[in-house]
Amino acid sequence: MRVISRQQLYQYGQTHSDAKPALDAWFKEAEHACWQSPSDIKEHYRSADFLPGNRVVFNIKGNSYRLVVKIHYNTGVVYIRFVGTHAEYDRIDAETI
């Protein structure tokens, strides 16, 4: 997959050092993945949640952080829409961000 806005993950990892290893691991896995449907994601990320508009919520570092992405399965592109703590995630609308 081609991950757009890697910089957002990098910057977040710089200010939240405990999340950095988990974000780096997610990026490496996503970059080498070939997700064609939500079921492909569920094979490796059982706790992933799927929202309307091809958005996926990943739990990062257990459930300490949340990562929201929008996936274009047909082109193999993943757009980073949000990365933050669970509390920050609770204050956003993940379906529209």
pLDDT for 21: 97
Predicted local confidence at residue 75, as pLDDT = 97
Q: Helices in 33-78 by DSSP H: which ranges?
A: 38-44
Domains along the chain with CATH numbers: 2-90 (3.30.2310)
E strands along the chain, which residues? 2-4, 49-51, 55-60, 65-72, 77-85
Q: What is the pLDDT of residues 21-64, one digit of tens each?
A: 999 999 999 999 999 999 999 999 999 999 999 999 999 999 89
**Residue position matching structure tokens 């050092």:** 17
Summarised one tens digit per residue, pLDDT across range 73-93 is 999 999 999 999 999 999 999
